[in-house]
Amino acid sequence: MKKTIKYLPEEKQQDLNYLVKLILEKIPQTQMIILYGSYATGKYVAFDRRIEFGIRTTYMSDYDILVVTSGAKDKEVGQRLDSIEEIYYRNPEEQTPVQFINDDIKKLNKDLSDGRYFYTQLKEEGIVLYNSGKFKLARRRKLNFDEIMEQAQEYSDEKFGRANSFMRSVKHDCNDGDYKMASFHLHQTCENLFYAVRLAFTLENRKQHNLSKLLASVRKYSERFDKIFPQKTKEEKRLFTLLKLAYVEARYNPKFAVTKEDIDVLIPIVESLNKLIKKICTEKIAAYGAV
């Protein structure tokens, strides 16, 4: 794990050093403070102001910070982190936002040892802003097939739950006649279904919103994906492009047009995708148990 933020602009370093100071003052049980996400990887957006679809928008990447504690109560740590945010934000519209998460060192090390994908990625890319030196981070161990099966099932259930929730939102959107928002929720349904496949097969996943790339990433797991979104005709290509663009366009482009007919065609396709991925994931998880 990296240990320096000297590559960041001086202002960002000052922000992070100030946040570390506040955390150590307010939460004495702190054992480690780890920066992860875009500021750790160097892929952050410091500040962006633009006109999108006739609307003025601004965007700044967050400071994503994991506060690792030992023997502290979750509720108490959460309250203190909230108080730190209140102190930190002097000018919220111009300051870099901060997002805190908290874990006890025992839980963190168990998740690292178990190869939990979020934490293994965090360890790989994160930067240690503070370390008490009292604890070491666990190494990822080789999982047995029962453990792999358990994780795959857990991840699959979680992603299918989200996908089904988004599909319920699609139905509400249609009842309200909001077909543009229905396209966004259909996109989110597909995104979580594709995540379910990747997690069931690899126990790893990275955020990806481009449906073309997501579909391409799972084709290797089953030839049956060739029957979903075939894109052989001009109309099939148009509908898939509409669904792919909906992640951004449906929310921010007032001129983005989606009809009831579009949604009526897309819903059964996404429902078929759900059934297919459910079957593929079930087969893969059962295979772990058969080893």
C-alpha 257: how far from its chain's center? 27
Domain 145-290 class in CATH: mainly alpha
Residues 6+ apart with CB under 8 A from 168: none
**103 touches 34 (CB < 8 A):** no
Domain 10-131 has CATH 1.10.630.10: no
Q: What is the pLDDT of residues 188-222, one digit of tens each?
A: 999 999 999 999 999 999 889 999 999 999 999 99
pLDDT bucket at 238, cuts 50 / 70 / 90: very high
User: Is the dihedral angle over the CA atoms 31, 33, 37, 41 positive or is it negative?
Assistant: negative
Q: According to the model, what pLDDT value does residue 1 have?
A: 82
pLDDT bucket at 50, cuts 50 / 70 / 90: low
For the chain, the domains span: 10-131, 145-290
| DSSP letter, residue 225 | G
Burial of 284 (0-12, 13-18, 19+ CB in 10 A): middle
Q: What is the pLDDT of residues 178-197, one digit of tens each?
A: 999 999 999 999 999 999 99
User: Is the dihedral angle over the CA atoms 75, 77, 83, 88 positive or is it negative?
Assistant: negative
Average pLDDT of the segment spanning 232-245: 96
Structure tokens at 256: 């983005």
This prediction's pTM: 0.81
Is the pLDDT higher at 213 or at 1?
Answer: 213
Go through the chain and tell me how many residues it has.
Answer: 291
Is the pLDDT higher at 70 or at 91?
Answer: 70
| Lookup result for tokens 């933020």 | 5
CA atoms within 13 A on the CB side of 210: 4
Is it the case that residue 269 has pLDDT exceeding 60?
yes
Q: What is the pLDDT of residues 51-69, one digit of tens each?
A: 655 656 667 899 999 999 9
Q: According to the model, what pLDDT value does residue 207 have?
A: 87
Which phi and psi (to 5°) does residue 142 adopt? -75, 125
Q: According to the model, what pLDDT value does residue 54 have?
A: 60
Q: Which residues does residue 32 pair with via DSSP β-bridges, in sequence order?
A: 68, 131
Task: Round to whole Å and give the CA distance between 220 and 151.
Answer: 21
Q: What is the pLDDT of residues 135-146, one digit of tens each?
A: 999 999 999 999
Q: What is the pLDDT of residues 100-110, one digit of tens each?
A: 999 999 999 99
Is it the case that residue 159 has pLDDT exceeding 80?
yes
Buried b / exposed e over 168-196, threshold 16 CB at 10 Å, is ebbeebbeeebbbbbbbbbbbbbbbbbbb
**216 touches 182 (CB < 8 A):** no
pLDDT bucket at 94, cuts 50 / 70 / 90: confident
Q: According to the model, what pLDDT value does residue 272 have?
A: 96
Q: According to the model, what pLDDT value does residue 82 have?
A: 96
Q: According to the model, what pLDDT value does residue 261 have?
A: 98
Task: Round to whole Å and give the CA distance between 183 and 114.
Answer: 37
Which phi and psi (to 5°) does residue 50 adopt? -155, 170
Q: According to the model, what pLDDT value does residue 29 have?
A: 98
pLDDT bucket at 86, cuts 50 / 70 / 90: very high
